[in-house]
Amino acid sequence: MQFTAAQIALIINARVEGNPDAVVNSFGKIEEAKNGQLAFLANPKYEDYLYTTGASVIIVNETQELKGPVNATMLRVLDPYSAFATLLAKYQEIVAQQMEGIQEPTYIAKTAVLGSKVYVGAFAYIGENVKVGNNVKIYPNVYIGNNVTIGDHSILHPGVRIYHDCVVGNHVSIHAGTVIGSDGFGFAPQADGSFKKVPQIGNVVIEDNVEIGANSAIDRATMGSTLIKSGAKLDNLIQVAHNVEVGHNTVIAAQAGVSGSTKIGNNVMIGGQAGIVGHIQIADNAKINAQSGVSKSIKVPHTAVTGSPAFEYTSALRSQAVTRNLPELEKRIIELENLVRQLLIEKAVP
């Protein structure tokens, strides 16, 4: 596929500076791009490559000042990174539209209903009473259990497993190896020390425009629904336990874990390897630093926390600074003790 600078400018609402007929057919990093490729400049530390790159078209900031001649055609926008993301999404959409049809072998139950322009890869399994929307892409080795609903334009990458009764919205992307609707971790302790499994009869509901990374697990609710609200973005290797709610446009980085029945607000940012205990609430716009252990509710919006146990970010940094100085403080205390001891001895001597 080939596009001119002028065509790309229409997609990302850019102002063309240079040859509007410059043609590109692929993407490249600004430091490595060649003729016929499109690159972007968002990070100032890569600015020097603007004057040496071989790219034919470059997306730059509207306010970018030039220190020398630029050979490429520039597309000036308010936010180069977002504009480039929009362009990549459009490109991906065009590629996905070319994938249609049902490969063999697959199993599709007679009661399943598939929308138009659906792609089903080889060795996929689609169970009874499944409803699949339009333009859905189901890659090889995907398992979709009975009574599952998949919304329009969603993508299930290879090896995704969606257990029975779960609901996936529109424009949802679930990456390879992720499991949706596995049993929540519910066991009742018995008098003899054993544990009796509590049946997990709820489901998982994933709303629109959600992306879930590879090899993550989102457990079904004991009763009701584990809920991932619209716009949420989950990284790879994340555990979301039963009856958890993840708010709108919340982002969770890799290897984080959320325990059962915790309610996470909207626009929350959770760093990698953070752990959140069960049955608490995280307020809107909270920020949880990487490797933090959150053991109690965050009730005030826009609060930032760090550490384990996690507490307010600025206070935590001050505590860390004091901790680093402990050896020096200990030395000073010993010196003061020795000085006091010496003064007492001198005072005691007649």
The predicted-structure confidence for 181-203, as pLDDT tens digits, reads as follows 999 999 999 999 999 999 999 99
The torsion region of residue 209 among left (phi > 0), alpha (psi -120 to 50) and beta comes to left
- The position carrying tokens 């001198």 is 346
Q: How far apart are CA 244 and CA 228, in angstroms?
A: 8
Measured CA angle at 97 (ends 92, 101), to 5 deg:
135
pLDDT, residue 322, reads 79
| Backbone dihedral angles phi then psi of residue 84, each to the nearest 5 degrees | -65, -40
Q: Which of 129, 136, 164 is nearest to 150 (CA)?
A: 136
Asked whether the beta carbons of 297 and 318 are under 8 A apart, the reply is: no
pLDDT digits (tens, 9 = 90+) for 59-102: 999 999 999 999 999 999 999 999 999 998 888 777 777 788 99
The one catalytic residue in 153, 157, 242, 248 is 242
Cα dihedral sign, 14-17-21-23? negative
One-letter amino acid for residue 203 of the chain: N
The pTM of the full predicted model, rounded to 2 decimals, is 0.81
Which residue pairs from 46-55 have beta carbons closer than 8 angstroms and sit at least 24 positions apart in sequence?
Answer: 55/24, 55/28, 55/30
Residue-level pLDDT at 206: 98
Tell me the average pLDDT of the chain. Answer: 94
- What 270-273 contacts at long range (C-beta under 8 Å, 24+ apart), as own/partner pairs, is 272/235
Element (H, E) at 107: strand 107-108
Per-residue model confidence as pLDDT tens digits over 209-254: 999 999 999 999 999 999 999 999 999 999 999 999 999 999 999 9
Pick the CATH number of 3-97 from 3.30.450.20, 3.40.1390.10, 3.40.50.300, 3.30.420.40: 3.40.1390.10
Q: Which CATH architecture has domain 160-309?
A: 3 Solenoid (2.160)
Active site residue 242: yes
pLDDT at res. 29: 93
Instruction: Indicate whether 326 pLDDT > 90.
Output: no
User: What's the average model confidence in pLDDT over 131-150?
Assistant: 97
- C-alpha–C-alpha distance, residues 93 and 249, integer Å: 22
The predicted pLDDT at position 15 comes to 95
Confidence of residue 349 (pLDDT cuts 50, 70, 90): low
| Of residues 26, 85, 75, 33, the one with CA closest to residue 54 | 33
